[in-house]
Amino acid sequence: MSILIKTEQEIEIMAQAGQILAQVMKETAVRAKPGVKTKELDSFAQALILKRKARPGFKDYNNFPASVCACVNEELVHCVPAERELKQGDIVSLDMGVLFQGYYSDMAVTVPVGEVNPEALRLIRTTKKALKRGIKKIRPGLTFGDIGNTIQRYVESQGYSVVRDLTGHGIGKDLHEDPEIPNYGKRKTGPVIKQGMVFCLEPMVSAGDWQIKRTKDGHGFQTKDSSLCAHFEHTIAVTSREVIVLTEL
């Protein structure tokens, strides 16, 4: 494993990439309304990214054909936007990346479509809070196991499951760099967090069992038991002064 340390100049470019992505995500997520097709969200986001002199980070990455991953209800990650119309009561996870001046940023949110039931809202809130708790655990000298342990304990305390087969990751000139960052684990295990690291934390939480399977499109994953799931992600930099969430407006 080779974890790349970023310079302050590299982190500055990645911060610009993060801000572009955060703004695009904000404008795209509010359009997730009943009757809107997931491919319409993709077209909208791609146009915004290009307008900001950046490139969609996911398009053509591992043959992925779109700029946004749009996953509905039991779908978790990497689903290709299509003709599917969002319905009242759905929840949709939007995951996207931006490539700007040679560096990537990556983020995800799960949002309700119209009025949704209280249990779906609680799942979204829990997943978002799990990410916040994980971010609070980031500081030089602690380990990635400390972060995963914090996320896992909180999620399970709420009666949910942490997906085991997919992880967070390092990021920089490549969309996925070392290390892999599980959302579960034991304290004081895994690589030690150091100044100059930039990585993505992304809790993926199921209301039922944590096991997943491929979706019909061949790109995505969904829960094996068809339970609802949610996904939040930020790109984070550890600098000499502070921990910065690059994809937060």
Q: Please state, rounded to an integer, the average pLDDT across all residues of the chain.
A: 98
Average pLDDT score over residue span 22-33: 98
Tell me the mean pLDDT in the region 112-126. 98
pLDDT at 88: 98
**Mean pLDDT, range 203-213, rounded to an integer:** 98
183-203 residues labelled b (16+ CB within 10 A) or e (exposed): bbbeeeebbebeebbbbbbbb
pLDDT greater than 90 at residue 1: no
Residue 146 has pLDDT above 90, yes or no: yes
Q: pLDDT category, 122, cuts 50, 70, 90?
A: very high
Q: Which of 152, 148, 162 is nearest to 206 (CA)?
A: 162
| Superfamily of domain 8-245, CATH level 4 | Creatinase/methionine aminopeptidase superfamily (3.90.230.10)
At 158-199, the pLDDT tens digits run 999 999 999 999 999 999 999 999 999 999 999 999 999 999
Cα–Cα distance between 24 and 168 in angstroms, integer?
21
**Beta strand 212-214 pairing with 234-238:** unpaired
- Residue 36: band (very low, low, confident or very high) from pLDDT cuts 50, 70, 90: very high
Domain residue ranges of the chain, discontinuous segments joined by +: 8-245
Read off the pLDDT of residues 80-97 as tens digits, 9 standing for 90 and up.
999 999 999 999 999 999
Share of the chain above pLDDT 70, in %: 100
Single out the residue of 201, 199, 191 nearest to residue 144, CA to CA.
Answer: 191
